[in-house]
Amino acid sequence: MTINTRIEEAGFRPASRIASVGVSKILQIGARAAAMKREGLPVIVLGAGEPDFDTPGNIKEAAKAAIDRGETKYTALDGSPDLKKAIVEKFRRENGVDYALDEVTVATGAKQILFNAFMASLDPGDEVIIPTPYWTSYSDIVEISGGVSVLIPCDAKAGFRLTADQLEKAITPKTRWVLLNSPSNPSGAAYGAEDYRPLLDVLLSHPHVWLMVDDMYEHIVYDGFRFVTPAALEPRLKSRTLTVNGVSKAYAMTGWRIGYAGGPKALIKVMAVIQSQATSCPSSVSQAAAIEALNGPQDFLKERQESFRRRRDIVVAGLNAIDGLECRTPEGAFYTFSGCAGVIGKTTPKGRKIEADHDFTDYLLEEAHVAVVPGSAFGLSPYFRISYATSEGELIEALARIDRACRLLTKG
């Protein structure tokens, strides 16, 4: 756990499984920024983990048509046959992986896929290896499921990637899963085939360890980066790999809540049992929309990718021009994860010392009215995350404000 707050209300005793889990720092910052905006302050929020684009028109039309056809009832538990067919086809077409219909599952967002998978597989004390920086929900879901997150720091020098040596050392008899996310939220770092290879070799020699990969940002990659997924790269691991994906980011469908996965039949079956007692099927209308997303035209993905690339370049160049900050160029997703070691130890105009990355991000919010998220929220300091899923104009203004705020800091 990082800097989540504990949930404690007088007269209510939370279950022990929730004791170390709380409202995430990202939501806290968002709430504070929203309150400042209500007071009339011109806050720029670079915290949101969702594209600023609209869901494409053909996808919305498919949802409307489904409503008109009366597709407003429960569907098959973990996805309608037509959506499962579209997912099987997507995995074959885009990833070169063959899954059968009973090897795919659909849930209310990729988040529920992760939840189903961990609830289905973890006994108390079972370990899940998670490289940091990591998407904050990972460790919370592992802990709610009774597991233990084993966090492995992977800093900018390592390209924010786990090495084979680190993986080998982290594996114990209690390890159930290794969870990899490429491209990553929050670092934007991605594993190419040559980055995955040594890790997959380690896993081949540890048959009790399963691999979960979160490919959510597959379609947001830059500079000709070739996205690959481990089940395609190493067929010998396919029988213990869960390939997680969803329509939220690529198709700007965060609110539709559809995530999916491909994996071994036995696991997929138990994941459906968990889901059956939590939410039953995902929304029937959203499933119809997801079918159109996966089967329909894909050319807009390239245009959106190009737009994200321009914004990435603006942000990376802007950050690297600021004294005290350092930003590695990400291969994908829509986040930068910048080092801020150069401002630690400095003093703000109000005389407050910046001792950690969250002091810096608090200062940026107060002084520059720019909301970003500290690295500590993602398990690695001293860094901060910017989400650049916003207009170029806003990004340029935010960078100018961050620059001004950094110039006001004094040594000592």
Q: Tell me whether the omega of the peptide bond preceding residue 230 falls within 30 degrees of 0, making it cis.
A: no
Pick the closer one to ligand PLP by CB: 216 or 405. 216
Question: Is residue 349 within 8 Å of residue 22, measured between CB atoms?
Answer: no
Tell me what percent of the chain is helix, strand and coil, each rounded to the nearest 5.
45, 15, 40
Contact residue for ligand PLP among 121, 136, 175, 185 (CB under 6 A): 185
Name which of 135 and 360 has its Cβ closer to ligand PLP: 135
Among 47, 49, 131, 263, which residue interacts with ligand PLP (rule: CB under 6 A)?
49
Query: Which of 142, 216, 371, 409 touches ligand PLP (CB under 6 A)?
Result: 216
Q: Does 214 bind ligand PLP (CB under 6 A)?
A: yes
> How far is residue 29's CA from residue 352's CA, in Å, rounded to a whole number?
19
**Are 271 and 37 in contact, with CB atoms under 8 Å apart?**
no
Q: Outline where DSSP puts E strands in 219-330.
A: 241-246, 259-262, 326-327
356 three-class SS: coil
As measured in angstroms, the least distance from the Cβ of 111 to ligand PLP is 4
Token pair recorded at residue 26? 């990202």
Q: What DSSP designation does 330 have?
A: P
Q: Is 381 in the site for ligand PLP (CB under 6 A)?
A: no
Q: Give Cα 255 to chain centroid, integer Å.
A: 15
243 near ligand PLP, rule: CB under 6 A: no
Closest Cα to residue 156, out of 377, 385, 333?
Answer: 385
Sole residue written with tokens 């008109």: 68
Q: At its nearest, how many Å lie between ligand PLP and the CB of residue 48?
A: 9
Least gap, CB of 216 to ligand PLP (angstroms): 4
Q: What is the rounded distance in angstroms from the CA atom of residue 114 to the CA atom of residue 244?
A: 8
The answer to the question of residue 332 lying near ligand PLP (CB under 6 A) is no
d(CA 220, CA 218): 6
> Least CB distance from residue 349 to ligand PLP, whole Å?
35
Identify the bridge partners of residue 128 per DSSP, sorted by sequence position. Answer: 149, 177
Q: Does 59 bind ligand PLP (CB under 6 A)?
A: no
Rounded (10°) angle between helices 57-68 and 284-295: 140
Other C-beta atoms lying within 10 Å of the C-beta of residue 153: 14
Stretch that binds ligand PLP, among 103-111, 171-179, 289-297, 311-319 (CB under 6 A): 103-111
Shortest distance, position 137 Cβ to ligand PLP, whole Å? 7
* Closer residue to ligand PLP (CB): 214 or 292: 214
Considering the complex, state which of residue 183 and residue 318 has its C-beta at the smaller distance from ligand PLP.
183
**Is residue 290 close enough to count as binding ligand PLP by CB under 6 A?**
no
Told to check if 55 binds ligand PLP by CB under 6 A, we report no
Q: How many CA atoms within 13 Å lie on the side-chain side of 266?
A: 5
Q: How far is the CB of 246 from ligand PLP (least distance, A)?
A: 4
Residue with tokens 């998407």: 135
By C-beta, is 49 or 318 nearer to ligand PLP? 49
51, 246, 332, 379: residue in contact with ligand PLP (rule CB under 6 A): 246
Q: How far is the CB of 22 from ligand PLP (least distance, A)?
A: 18
Smallest distance from the beta carbon of 378 to ligand PLP, in angstroms? 11
The answer to the question of residue 111 lying near ligand PLP (CB under 6 A) is: yes
Question: Does 141 interact with ligand PLP (rule: CB under 6 A)?
Answer: no
CB 33 within 8 A of CB 373: no
Site residues for ligand PLP, 391-410, by CB under 6 A, read: none
Q: Which residue in the set 20, 28, 239, 254 belongs to the binding site for ligand PLP (CB under 6 A)?
A: 254
Rounded least distance, CB 10 to ligand PLP, Å: 33
Q: How many residues bind ligand PLP (CB under 6 A)?
A: 13
Query: Nearest-CA neighbor of 19 among 33, 31, 4, 34?
Result: 4
Q: Are 127 and 148 in contact (CB under 8 A)?
A: yes
What is the token pair recorded at 410?
Answer: 């004094």
User: Could you say which of 22, 259, 330, 332 contacts ligand PLP (CB under 6 A)?
Assistant: 259
Grouping H, G, I as helix, E, B as strand and the rest as coil, residue 244 is strand
Taking CB under 6 A as the criterion, the residue among 87, 110, 171, 372 binding ligand PLP is 110
- Quick one: 328 exposed, middle or buried, by C-beta within 10 A (0-12, 13-18, 19+)? buried
Residue ranges that bind ligand PLP, judged by CB under 6 A: 49, 109-111, 135, 181, 185, 214, 216, 246, 248, 254, 259
